[in-house]
Amino acid sequence: MTILKKIDMAVDGMFADQTGWPLIHSSMKPNTSTSYYGTDTENDFAVNKKRLPLEWIYNSKSITYNFNSDGLRMDKETNEVDSDYMVAFGCSHTLGVGIALEDTWPYLMSKKLQLDYINLGVSGSSIKLNAINFFNMISKIEHLPKVVAFAWPSSVRYTWYSKGQFLFYLPRYTSEKTEFKHITQAYNNLLMTDVLTSDAVFYRNMIKTTCNRLGIKYCEIGLDPRCEFASAINLPVATSLIDSHIIDNVNLDTLHSFFARDVRDKTDNVIFAHIGIGTHLDAVKLLIDQL
């Protein structure tokens, strides 16, 4: 479990006034700049430099994570963005963990469309959290975006609000704290049903309908063809989920295209990393084709 920055809310009975925007992950520190972030750690990078070929792109390509005053990975403040702009929604893949800003799909897509952009990629976020960010954005911004683009997270992620905090739940990250035991149990029970997928489709359809009514161009992709949500709405998927075993045996071109700098072996020797440069390029093509 991870917790977003704490947000004061006006609570009336069981209902919270969830009007904050943007809602971000607590690791997205406003007004900071760092060379490593999240699973892209200095320690793993040092290990990879020793075991990967000298031609590995990140031996010579640097990465900087700049977070603006809203905690978003952007070189601009949100109030400095041009009135003709697009908004990118998603999770840490959209934020661009493990790759340079100029290689992220929001950056590349904005250049293709000749629009400015806001990157609302939030690490660990759920479809529900993206929906809240979308509707809170619509209620607060002065100029509506020309385009909204979603790289949807998996529907097995969920966001709860309890005791004045937003809580992120993923199958591998659940709270063991006594004060959240009831939520952890409820989440585990929901994973055994189709409720999370049904909720995800509901949130997505509300967003798509709202964009149609407001004249905002809408496009979407998934990043995991195994996700039930992606299958339920026939999402175009921007990655083929290569089942590569042991980093040392992976073709260098494949490593560069499909895997970000945080590439590492999991306990079962299957490679894990955020999506690489090639997948971000595929995402841009799939999204723009819908427009």
The predicted-structure confidence for 118-171, as pLDDT tens digits, reads as follows 999 999 999 999 999 999 999 888 899 999 999 999 999 998 877 777 888 888
The predicted-structure confidence for 248-272, as pLDDT tens digits, reads as follows 778 899 899 999 999 988 767 778 8
Strand order in the sheet with 165-169: 2-3, 165-169, 158-162
Which domains does the chain show, CATH number per domain? Answer: 2-289 (3.40.50)
Those residues whose C-beta lies under 8 Å from the C-beta of residue 237, and which sit 6 or more positions away, are: 221, 222, 223, 224, 225, 230
CA distances from 266 to 15, 80, 243, 270 (A): 41, 41, 12, 6
- Report the chain's mean pLDDT, rounded to a whole number: 88
- Per-residue pLDDT at 4: 43
Grouping H, G, I as helix, E, B as strand and the rest as coil, residue 152 is strand
Task: Read off the pLDDT band of 14 (50, 70, 90).
Answer: very low
pLDDT at 8 over 60: no
Task: Read off the pLDDT band of 175 (50, 70, 90).
Answer: low
**How many angstroms separate the CA atoms of 75 and 102, rounded?**
11
The predicted-structure confidence for 28-83, as pLDDT tens digits, reads as follows 999 999 999 999 999 999 999 999 999 999 999 999 999 999 999 999 999 999 99
| Backbone torsions φ then ψ of 284, nearest 5 degrees | -60, -45
CB 121 within 8 A of CB 87: no
Percent of the chain with pLDDT strictly greater than 70: 90
Those residues whose C-beta lies under 8 Å from the C-beta of residue 122, and which sit 6 or more positions away, are: 22, 23, 24, 25, 28, 90, 91, 92, 95, 129, 130, 133
